[in-house]
């Protein structure tokens, strides 16, 4: 079975040529991201992903995490790999140097994270949740909480979790019933149960820092009455050392379709007198703080989709090269050939490849915007970059994860019957990818956020600016790129038409707009990905014209052309669905279902 190989050439291209790493490296605090350092980090991350994490992917799937007597043991090799991960400093790559981080750009961290997710999705979830806890405490925690928890979380010696969902609440956080009773000195006793807690219990770190949503006694009903608390697995002594076990226990782990190496815990707080926790920030602002974690997690789940899709593509290509079956179309009496030579297999592989490259480009461009939103010295540029990132994060999350499911399914199809056999590994990618469109808010939640908070609320101002940038890029798609330009122009026109409809409709018929939300998200993702592929084609043409003989460039041109002909052509039809599809979705009587 083949192992993951980091796609370093395309990663570097997307980082440098599309996302603008050189500009990001000029931002205050990012100056250490020199070309030599970036190359060294990418090479070493690729090695760690391929040699350490990838071989454990199959072990995690077949053996999985095990629960016994409120404790969880991870799959063989996971604990040791996590020890190496921490020792090598990977957890603190983009974290604040004040707490032991390296302060490198989120753009570089995104590229490295893609490798972890591609090599071993289940393993990567642990540091991902820790990063979310770090962000929430950095922005909303007290000085005491930061000093107590951030150094260990940044190093990775301790891990973090996000505790939102309850058995009766699901995605409706207004229904959260976990309660927090004050006992004085800013301390609370937490009582309740949380479900679907990724790495809520495990054996890879000395302590687990749970961030928990709960209600104080006088909290108002609904989402306005939710507060956020730090509830560690082990309480801390005055000197910061680990103390007694807190009253927060794992009572079971879920039996899942995929990501078996990642324990998904049911946590019980307060069965023995109350779990001790401290309030983060102010009472009743917990949801606001949790969304700090959520936004970071949503972007990272988009990277999970990208990683799964890249891995499925790699496995499918490897199989298509070695599987000998049939003669080449149009060659009578010819020899048996690898299935890579069959036209439909090539179409499937090109579909996988083109979408992966578009997803990578859009994710990295969004990561660069996050860096600029945080550190650009120009206030106007910070606001513009934040607005762009806010608009794109639900697309990166929703579009990339839905693509990943389809790409992994296509990978199974490339394998034929062998794809349905677990030993080839193709099925695992499909099973693992399936959760990504549900994690941290389903695709519909992302789409409703996109059309409501990110488009309708501001009357489409940011998406109109993005469409203007897309139109400006069309001018360069001329000459031998004119066919790509035509497809992109028609797609941008359809996007603009659909976006205008969303703005006009949302306020007067929210049901119709909501029925169109997911098709609109898909439409926007395809066009935004095509925008980046068009930019890539222009650069590739320049390199070829300049005499660069690297086969990477004509391959990029071929991939961009495929994307235009096979994916951008879907956009006008999706626009029709957005504008006219509500009747068919909404008119059926409930009893007729």
The DSSP code sequence of 255-314 is: --SS-TTS-EEEEEE-TTS-EEEEEESSTT-HHHHHHHHHHHHHHHHHHHHHHHHHHHHH
- What pLDDT score does 280 carry? 96
> Which residues are within 8 A (CB) of 587 and not within 5 positions of it... i.e. 6 or more apart?
none
Q: At 323, give phi and psi (nearest 5°).
A: -85, 115
Residue 397: pLDDT above 80?
A: yes
Reported as a single tens digit per residue, the pLDDT across 322-372 is 999 999 999 988 899 999 999 999 999 999 999 999 999 999 999 999 999
Type and span of the H or E element at 173: none
Query: What is the C-alpha to C-alpha distance for residues 113 and 15, in angstroms, rounded to an integer?
Result: 13
Q: Is 177 helix (H, G, I), strand (E, B) or coil?
A: coil
Closest C-alpha among 405, 400, 397, 394 to residue 434: 405
Assign 186 a pLDDT band (cuts: 50, 70, 90).
confident
Catalytic residue among 3, 114, 440, 496: 440
Reported as a single tens digit per residue, the pLDDT across 423-470 is 999 999 999 999 999 999 999 999 999 999 999 999 999 999 999 999
Share in percent of the chain as helix, strand, coil (round to 5): 60, 15, 25
> Fold match between 8-155 and 159-285?
no
Residue 408: pLDDT above 80?
A: yes
Residue 1: pLDDT above 80?
A: no
Assign 293 a pLDDT band (cuts: 50, 70, 90).
confident
Phi and psi based region of residue 404 (left: phi greater than 0; alpha: psi -120 to 50; beta: remaining): alpha
Strand partners, 279: 229
Q: At 422, give phi and psi (nearest 5°).
A: -60, -30
- The ranges assigned to domains in the chain are 8-155, 159-285, 459-585
C-alpha gyration radius of the chain: 24
Residue 300: pLDDT above 70?
A: yes
Q: Quote the Cα angle for 50-51-52, to 5°.
A: 105
For 559-584, b where at least 16 C-beta lie within 10 A, e where not — what string? bbbbbbeebbeebbebbebbbeebee
Residue 169: pLDDT above 70?
A: no
440 is catalytic: yes
- With pLDDT > 90 as the criterion, what percentage of the chain qualifies? 94
Assign 104 a pLDDT band (cuts: 50, 70, 90).
very high
- What pLDDT score does 142 carry? 96
Q: Give the architecture (CATH level 2) of 159-285.
A: Beta Barrel (2.40)
DSSP 215: B
Closest C-alpha among 236, 232, 242 to residue 200: 232
The mean pLDDT value for 495-516 works out to 98
Outline where DSSP puts E strands in 305-351.
324-327, 336-338
Other CB atoms within a 10 A radius of the CB of residue 249 amount to 21
Pairing of strands 158-163, 207-214: parallel
Assign 173 a pLDDT band (cuts: 50, 70, 90).
low
Residue 388: pLDDT above 80?
A: yes
- What pLDDT score does 291 carry? 80
What CATH class has 8-155?
mainly alpha
Q: Of how many residues is the chain composed?
A: 593
Other CB atoms within a 10 A radius of the CB of residue 44 amount to 13
End-to-end CA distance of the chain: 45
Reported as a single tens digit per residue, the pLDDT across 5-33 is 999 999 999 999 999 999 999 999 999 99
Reported as a single tens digit per residue, the pLDDT across 238-290 is 999 999 999 999 999 999 999 999 999 999 999 999 999 999 999 999 988 88
Chain center to CA of 75: 23
Assign 392 a pLDDT band (cuts: 50, 70, 90).
very high
Closest C-alpha among 63, 94, 85 to residue 76: 63
- What pLDDT score does 170 carry? 62
- With pLDDT > 70 as the criterion, what percentage of the chain qualifies? 99
The mean pLDDT value for 219-231 works out to 92
Q: Is 337 helix (H, G, I), strand (E, B) or coil?
A: strand
Closest C-alpha among 534, 535, 522, 502 to residue 570: 522
Q: At what angle do helices 461-474 and 482-506 cross, to 10 degrees?
A: 170
DSSP 5: -
Residue 174: pLDDT above 80?
A: no
Residue 172: pLDDT above 70?
A: no
Closest C-alpha among 488, 489, 479, 485 to residue 542: 479
Share the mean pLDDT of the chain. 96
- What pLDDT score does 347 carry? 98
The mean pLDDT value for 576-592 works out to 95
Assign 162 a pLDDT band (cuts: 50, 70, 90).
very high
User: Is the sign of the CA dihedral 215, 218, 223, 224 positive or negative?
Assistant: negative
- What pLDDT score does 565 carry? 98
- What pLDDT score does 295 carry? 81
Query: What is the C-alpha to C-alpha distance for residues 348 and 350, in angstroms, rounded to an integer?
Result: 5
> Which residues are within 8 A (CB) of 481 and not within 5 positions of it... i.e. 6 or more apart?
534, 537, 538, 541
Q: Is the full-model pTM beyond 0.75?
A: yes
């Amino acid at each position: 079975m083949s192992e993951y190989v980091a796609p370093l050439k395309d990663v570097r291209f997307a980082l440098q040529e599309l996302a603008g790493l050189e500009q990001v490296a000029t931002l205050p605090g990012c100056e250490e991201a020199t070309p030599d350092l970036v190359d060294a980090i990418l090479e070493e991350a690729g090695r760690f992903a391929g040699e350490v994490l990838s071989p454990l992917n199959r072990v995690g799937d077949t053996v999985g995490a095990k629960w016994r007597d409120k404790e969880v043991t991870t799959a063989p090799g996971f604990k040791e790999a996590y020890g190496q991960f921490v020792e090598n400093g990977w957890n603190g790559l983009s974290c604040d140097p004040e707490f032991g981080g390296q302060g490198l750009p989120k753009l570089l961290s995104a590229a490295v994270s893609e490798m972890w997710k591609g090599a071993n999705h289940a393993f990567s979830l642990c540091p991902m949740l820790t990063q979310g806890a770090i962000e929430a405490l950095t922005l909303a925690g007290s000085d005491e909480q930061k000093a107590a928890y951030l150094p260990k979380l940044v190093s990775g010696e301790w891990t973090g979790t996000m505790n939102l969902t309850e058995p009766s609440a699901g995605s409706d956080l207004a229904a959260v019933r976990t309660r927090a009773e004050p006992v004085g000195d800013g301390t609370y006793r937490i009582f309740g149960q949380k479900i679907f807690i990724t790495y809520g219990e495990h054996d890879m770190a000395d302590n687990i820092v749970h961030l928990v949503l709960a209600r104080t006694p006088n909290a108002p009903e609904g989402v306005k009455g939710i507060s956020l608390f730090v509830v560690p697995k082990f309480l801390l002594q005055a000197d910061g050392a680990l103390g007694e076990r807190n009253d927060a226990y794992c009572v079971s782990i879920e039996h899942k379709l995929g990501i078996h190496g990642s324990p998904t815990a049911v946590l019980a707080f307060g069965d023995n007198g109350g779990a001790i926790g401290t309030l983060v920030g102010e009472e009743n602002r917990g949801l606001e703080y949790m969304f700090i974690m959520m936004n970071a997690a949503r972007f990272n789940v988009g990277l999970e989709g990208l990683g799964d899709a890249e891995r499925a593509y790699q496995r499918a290509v490897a199989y298509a090269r070695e599987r000998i079956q049939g003669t080449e179309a149009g060659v009578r009496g010819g020899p048996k050939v690898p299935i890579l030579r069959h036209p439909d297999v090539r179409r499937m592989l090109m579909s996988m490849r083109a979408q992966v490259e578009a997803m990578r480009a859009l994710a990295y461009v969004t990561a660069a915007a996050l860096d600029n939103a945080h550190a650009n010295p120009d206030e106007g540029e910070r606001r513009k970059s934040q607005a762009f990132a806010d608009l794109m994060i639900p697309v990166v999350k929703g579009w990339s994860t839905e693509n990943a499911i389809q790409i992994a399914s296509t990978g199974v199809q490339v394998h034929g019957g062998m794809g349905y056999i677990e030993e080839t590994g193709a099925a695992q990618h499909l099973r693992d990818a399936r959760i990504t469109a549900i994690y941290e808010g389903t695709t519909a939640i992302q789409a409703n956020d996109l059309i409501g908070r990110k488009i309708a609320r501001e009357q489409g101002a940011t998406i109109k600016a993005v469409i203007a940038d897309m139109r400006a890029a069309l001018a360069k798609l001329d000459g031998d790129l004119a066919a790509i330009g035509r497809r992109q122009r028609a797609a941008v026109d359809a996007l603009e038409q659909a976006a205008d409809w969303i703005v006009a409709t949302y306020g007067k018929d929210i049901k119709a707009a909501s029925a169109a939300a997911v098709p609109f998200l898909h439409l926007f993702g395809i066009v935004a990905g095509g925008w980046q592929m068009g930019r890539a084609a222009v650069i590739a043409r320049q390199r070829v014209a300049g005499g660069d003989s690297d086969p990477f460039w004509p391959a990029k041109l071929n991939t961009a052309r495929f994307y235009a002909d096979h994916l951008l052509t879907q956009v006008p039809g999706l626009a029709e669905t957005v504008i006219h599809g509500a009747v068919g979705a909404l008119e059926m009587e409930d009893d007729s279902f």
